[in-house]
Amino acid sequence: MTTAGTHRAILAAWRIEQPRLITSLARLLRDVPLAEDLTQEALIVALERWPETGIPERPGAWLMTTAKRRALDHLRRRRMLDQKHELIVREMEEEEQIMPDLDTPLDDDIGDEMLRLIFTACHPLISREARVALALRMICGLTTEEIARAFLVSEATIAQRIVRAKKTLSESGLAYETPHGEELSQRLASVLEVVYLIFNEGYTAARGENWLRLQLCNEALRLGRVLTSVAPLEPEAHALLALMELNASRAAARTDADGNPILLLEQNRARWDRLQIQRGLQALKRVQQLDGAGGVYALQAAIVACHARVGTAEETDWRRIAALYAELAKLIPSPIVELNRAVAVGMVDGPEAALEIIERLRDEPALKDYHLLPSVRGDLLYKLGRYDEAQRAFETAAALAENQRERDFLMRRADEAAGAEKD
């Protein structure tokens, strides 16, 4: 394998293993930012050694062993006198004596550990925006660019939030634990947001060549299921799980054999996962039993359920979907919610009515570089027969899209509009 190929393999392995490494080290060290630093050091060592020695049979175990040894060296160098740190050193030294170098198993309870780490990152001492950014970057392995795209803000802003959050974690001595009772409820909203953003990045990847990253979707679903057991009486935990289950049920129908996107109305619904839909609807039923039908995730899940409950696109109750989006907009005023409402309005009252909403959104600063705004606008213009304008809108959307599959799809739409204009 070439050096470049080895580096790609290393980065792929590291991206998969990074959350496991950080969660295990954070549990041992009780210091989340230090755990991330040591994980980064293990990556650097791998980049230096693996091109010469070859990729180990178990790269995750190799990285874990290296990171733990770095942690032990770090604690020894600092000569900690604090009794807690002395205990940690003793525990790690004992483990080092019995731990095989390359066959160290990764923690079996990593699901609970990762959730505990997310709860730690979402401590009330850290601002809401910084909590989510820190968790996504450090725990979930998303890049600063991917997080900035999710929040519709600049990379510099996200980077500053992450730095401030890590500093707060380091200086405050926050406990590494899953909270309970009222403290759990205080952090739950941020944790749910983190899990949903992980799912969204997997469901429609912001960057790269693949439109779907099912590993991230599955990880978010697993965390969502754990959350409903940690907080069984919290309706929004069940609502988020319902939302993710219902969306994920369409995964097999969202791309063609070549990995190209297939829009919702054109999907083969026979390929939707009926068992997963039933799980989602059952979770939504639990939300209603807990009197949480008016929550943010509950409303979104109800919207997706409108699609899941019918067998054909023509049966979809778009009027109800538009009403649900209007209700959601009252809870979280957002240009993205309004953009989605415009699509539903267009299905009920026609493209002209939807275009009026879209034109009002064009001056929204948060949507300045958001490719779906010109994409939706292009679709509406195309339906109105304004093909030249539609072509330009699709080209604008393609220029803004950073996912290769979406970019190619939008350019095909632009070519289609150009062809219709000639006819």
Q: Mind listing the pLDDT tens digit for each residue in 396-423?
A: 999 998 888 889 999 999 999 998 877 6
Return the SS3 of 141: coil
> How many angstroms separate the CA atoms of 212 and 330, rounded?
31
Can you give the C-alpha Rg of the chain in angstroms? 24
- Please give the pLDDT value at position 304: 97
pLDDT at 405: 85
pLDDT single digits (tens) 110-155: 346 677 778 877 777 888 778 878 877 776 667 788 788 777 788 8
Model confidence, pTM = 0.73
List of residues 6+ apart from 111 with CB closer than 8 A: 222, 223, 226
pLDDT of res. 125: 80
Residues 58 and 16: beta-carbon distance below 8 Å? no
Q: How far is CA 348 from CA 203, 343, 355, in A?
A: 26, 9, 13
Residues in the chain: 423
Q: Which of 247, 242, 250 is nearest to 298 (CA)?
A: 242
Of the chain, the end-to-end C-alpha distance in Å amounts to 52
